[in-house]
Amino acid sequence: MNTFKCTQCDTVGLTDGFIEDAGEHSRGYARWIEGALERGVFGGAKRMGRPRWQIEAYRCPKCGHLELFASNQV
């Protein structure tokens, strides 16, 4: 628990968590990548050389709203 406040219903104290990436070669967590999405020739996102940030997702226990933060570069 923490003192984060839900921006939807003003409840204080959000539940810590993260967004899972269950893809086959994933590290298990989703990341935020700097720069607008560009797709390569095979349709996949171009992400070479871009900074990546781990996404933290805090869930409001009352309304279920997620507050997302990307504060740690990975």
Q: Which is nearer to Zn ion, 33 or 57 (CB)?
A: 57
Rounded Cα gap, residues 55 and 74, in angstroms? 10
Minimum CB separation of residue 4 from Zn ion in Å reads 10
Contact flags string 13-52 toward Zn ion, x per CB under 5 A: ----------------------------------------
- Answer yes or no whether residue 54 interacts with Zn ion by CB under 5 A: no
Rounded Cα gap, residues 11 and 44, in angstroms? 38
Joined together, the tokens standing for residue 54 give: 């781990």
